[in-house]
Amino acid sequence: ETGVTQTPRHLVMGMTNKKSLKCEQHLGHNAMYWYKQSAKKPLELMFVYSLEERVENNSVPSRFSPECPNSSHLFLHLHTLQPEDSALYLCASSQDTSRNEQYFGPGTRLTVT
């Protein structure tokens, strides 16, 4: 248990669906991250939030839309996804963006059909 929770743990959605992934951290951290982990590929950073402001957006397609309503919660809104978007989506948090250690949630295994 890392102090970072994610729901749902598994999600299957069609290409026309809209769904949201949720992340919550109970560590009092100020920075939160979304990563994508595909088979045989490195972890890919998608978004970084610091004090609820987006500070990094790594050329992610607009069908992925993040939201950070407060420093403890992070959402990833999904719409009109493609099959190649199927992956493990990991949330992480750290004290701030300059800190070394990131704490990861268990991830959401997403399958797009």
Partner 1 sequence: GQNIDQPTEMTATEGAIVQINCTYQTSGFNGLFWYQQHAGEAPTFLSYNVLDGLEEKGRFSSFLSRSKGYSYLLLKELQMKDSASYLCAVRGLGNTPLVFGKGTRLSVIA
Span interacting with partner 1, options 13-21, 64-72, 75-83, 90-98, rule CB under 8 A: 90-98
- In the complex, what is the shortest distance from the CB of residue 51 to partner 1, in angstroms, rounded to a whole number? 13
By CB under 8 A, is residue 52 in contact with partner 1? no
- In the complex, what is the shortest distance from the CB of residue 11 to partner 1, in angstroms, rounded to a whole number? 15
H or E stretch covering 5: strand 4-7
Residues facing 64 on adjacent strands? 78
By CB under 8 A, is residue 87 in contact with partner 1? no
Residues 85 and 62: beta-carbon distance below 8 Å: no
User: For partner 1, which is the closer residue by CB, 42 or 83?
Assistant: 42
Q: How far apart are CA 64 and CA 71, in angstroms?
A: 20
Residue 18, token pair as written in the block: 């809209």
User: For partner 1, which is the closer residue by CB, 14 or 38?
Assistant: 38
H or E stretch covering 32: strand 31-37
User: For partner 1, which is the closer residue by CB, 3 or 14?
Assistant: 3
Residue 42, token pair as written in the block: 């490195």
Q: How far apart are CA 26 and CA 112, in angstroms?
A: 30
- Write out the residues near partner 1 by the rule CB under 8 A: 2, 4, 33, 40-43, 45, 48, 56, 90, 97-98, 100-107
